[in-house]
Amino acid sequence: MTKSLRTVTALSLVARAVAAQASGAGTDPRLATRLDKPTYVAVNAIVDSARAAKLPTAPLVDKALEGAAKGSDGPKIVSAVQQLRVRMTSARAVLGTSATSDEIKAASAAFEAGVSDRDLARVKAAAGKRAVTMPLAVLTDLIGRQIEVATATNLVIQLEKSGVKDPELALFQRNVRADIDRGADPTVAAQTRARGLTQRGASTSKPSE
C-alpha cells in the first residue's frame, strides 16, 4: 500500500471509529468497522431495542461479528441478529428476569436446536437454584448428535434431579460423544451413560437445595 493510500485508509478508519464513538452510548466500534452501513444501522437498531428491553446485548453484537467473519451478506446478518433477539426474549420470559447472560445464551442455543418453551421451563424447574447453562449446553449437544428432543430433554432433567453437578455433566457429554464416535447408537449411548450417573447419584450425592 502506498503511503498516501495508507493515510487515506487510516483517516477513514479514524473517522469511522469517531463516528461510531460519537453516535451514542453503547455502539460497539467493531460493528462499525466490520459491517457495511445499512447492516450496521439495522443491527444497531436491534441492539438498541434489546438494551431498552434490558436484554444482554453482547450476544447480539457477537452474532453480527460472527456473520461478518463468516462472510455472510448484510440481510442474513440482520436476520440472524433479529432472530437471536427473539430467542433471547423468549428465553428470559421462561427463565425469569434473574437469568444470567450465559443462561440466556445457552437457552437461545437450545431453542435453535428445537427445545420448546415448555421443555426449557422443565429443565429450569429441575435445576432448582442451580444455573441451567451447562444442562442446556449438554441438551443442545445431545440433540445435535441426533437424539430426539424429547428423549434428550428427559435425560437431562433426570440427571439434574439426581443432583448431578456441572463437571459431571461435562464428563457425561464427553463420554457420550466418545461412545458415538466408536459407533454406538446415540440414544443408547446417552441413556446408558445417564443411567450410570443417576444410579451413582442416587446412592452417593445429597439432593440439591
Partner 1 sequence: MSDDDVKMSQIARVLRAPVRLSASFDARVMAAVRRLPGHERLKLWARLTTPRTVTVMPLSWGLLAASVALFAVLGALHFVVDVDRAAKPIANALFPAQAKPAPQRVQFVLVAPDAKKVAVVGDFNGWDASHAGYQAQHRGGGVWSVTAPVPVGHHRYSFVVDDSVWVADPTAPRVVDNDYGVPNSAIVVPQE
Partner 2 sequence: MEASSDAVVVSHVLRGDVDAFGTLVERYRDRYARYAFHMLGNREDAEEALQDAFTRAYRSLPQCEDPERFGAWLFRILVNRCRTVGARRGRRARTFVADETALLGAAEDHPAERTAWREEIDRALQQLRPDQREAFLLKYVEELGYDEMSQLTGVGVSALKMRVMRACERMRELLSEVHSV
Give the footprint of partner 1 on this chain (CB under 8 A).
7, 10-11, 14-15, 17-19, 21-22, 25-30, 33, 51, 56-59, 62-63, 65-70, 72, 76, 79-80, 83-84, 100-103, 105-106, 109, 112-114, 133-134, 137-138, 140-141, 143-145, 166-167, 170, 173-174, 177
Return left, alpha or beta for 5; rule: phi > 0 is left, psi -120 to 50 is alpha, else beta.
alpha
36 vs 10: CA distance, rounded Å = 17
Under the binding rule (CB under 8 A), the answer on residue 38 touching partner 2 is yes
Q: In the bound complex, what is the minimum distance in angstroms from residue 207's beta carbon to partner 2?
A: 45
Interface residue with partner 2 among 59, 74, 186, 201 (CB under 8 A) is 74
Q: In the bound complex, what is the minimum distance in angstroms from residue 116's beta carbon to partner 1?
A: 14
Locate all alpha helices (DSSP H) within 96-116, ordered by sequence. 101-113
Interface residue with partner 2 among 17, 23, 166, 177 (CB under 8 A) is 23
Q: In the bound complex, what is the minimum distance in angstroms from residue 45's beta carbon to partner 1?
A: 16
Interface residue with partner 2 among 18, 45, 125, 171 (CB under 8 A) is 45
Q: Could you write out the DSSP letters of every residue in 40-95?
A: HHHHHHHHHHHHHTT---HHHHHHHHHHHHTT--HHHHHHHHHHHHHHHHHHHHHH
Angle between helices 58-69 and 101-113 (to 10 degrees): 50
Angle between helices 133-144 and 117-127 (to 10 degrees): 130
| Site of interaction with partner 2 (CB under 8 A) | 19, 22-24, 37-42, 44-46, 74-75, 78-79, 82-83
